Amino acid sequence: MDRLDLFRTLAADQPDEPRARYGYANELVRAKRWEEAAHELQAYLALAEDEGNAWGKLGDALAHLGRTDEAADAYLSGIDQATKFGHTGMADDFATALEAL
């Protein structure tokens, strides 16, 4: 069983477990399966307060799908969360990604 299958199984078996959702979403991003990644990242974000990283991954996935307005919203949320948790470098990265849209 590869990592993608492992995390798919974990997320299916424990749909309310944020770490399982995030792990699956991360593997989907690595596989460049943008639509599924966006869905799983949104599911994860509905379950947990993220410090910014998942928001950036969501922005990236939505940008790859051409969903620019939604990507911008994700990056803005990521900037807010990263700033809230003191991750200024991450917030700067998201601001750069936002400008590139």
pLDDT at 1 over 90: no
As a whole number of angstroms, the distance between CA 100 and CA 62 comes to 13
pLDDT at 85 over 90: yes
pTM of the predicted model as reported, rounded to 2 decimal places = 0.94
CA 41-81-73 angle, 5° bins:
60
As a whole number of angstroms, the distance between CA 65 and CA 85 comes to 28
CA 28-8-12 angle, 5° bins:
135
- Asked whether the CA dihedral 69, 91, 27, 47 is positive or negative, the reply is negative
Tokens of 52: 């910014």
Banded model confidence at residue 51, pLDDT cuts 50, 70, 90: very high
